[in-house]
Amino acid sequence: MKSGGSLSIWFFIGVSLLVNGTLIFATGIYEIVSPPANRVVLYGLHANIWWGGVLLVLGALYCWRFSPARERKRLAENS
């Protein structure tokens, strides 16, 4: 689904997941280096690292797959 120009809704979603995933992943790494005083339940599972990583990878995939350049190329091929 295209928007005003060549940006797909899925590209916006990719950007959101990529940025959030990066921030959460980086926070998880920082917590390993500098453990917090008040820890959440199941802190030892380091959910922010693997969940942030999942979001980061998913976001990167969406950004690549639906990037404006690829979309323009695909549209040109179809037209």
Partner 1 sequence: MAASTLVRLSPVDLVIIVLYFALVLAIGVYLKERANTGEDFFMAGREMTAWVAGLAFLSANLGSLELMGWAGNAYKYGILAAHWYWIGAIPAMLFLALVMIPFYHICKTHSVPGYLKLRYGEPSRALSAISFGFMTVLMSGINMYAMAVVMRVVLGWDIHFSIWVSSITVAIYVALGGLRSAIFNEVLQFFLIWAGALLIPILGLVEAGGWSGLQAKILHNLTELNVPNPGAYTHMWSTLGDFGNNPMGINWVGIVFGLGAVISMGYWTTDFLVVQRILSAKDLRSAKLAPIIGAAFKMMVPFIVILPGLLGLALLRDPHTGSLLRLVPGDLAWSDAGRAQGLHGYDEVLPLMLARYCGPGLLGLGVTALIAGFMSGMAGNVSAFATVWTYDIYGALINKNASDESKVKMGRWCTLLGVVVSIGTAYLVMHAQSIMDYVQALFSFFIAPLFGTVLIGMLWKRATPAGGFLGLLAGTMSSVGMYTWVKLDPGAVKYVALSMQAQDQAQNMFRALWCGLICAAVTILVSLVTKPKPDAELTGLVYGLTTIPHEEHASIFHRPLFWGAVVALGFVILNVIFW
Within 8 A by CB and 6+ apart from 33, the residues are none
Rounded Cα distance between 11 and 67, Å, is 6
Smallest separation, CB 60 to partner 1 (Å): 14
2 phi/psi in degrees, rounded to 5? -95, 155
Q: Under the criterion CB under 8 A, does residue 64 sit at the interface with partner 1?
A: no
Q: Exactly one of 33, 37, 41, 76 binds partner 1 (CB under 8 A); which one?
A: 41
Query: Encoding tokens for residue 5?
Result: 């120009």
Q: Under the criterion CB under 8 A, does residue 60 sit at the interface with partner 1?
A: no
Q: Given the complex with partner 1, which of 68 and 73 has the nearer CB atom?
A: 68
Q: Under the criterion CB under 8 A, does residue 55 sit at the interface with partner 1?
A: yes
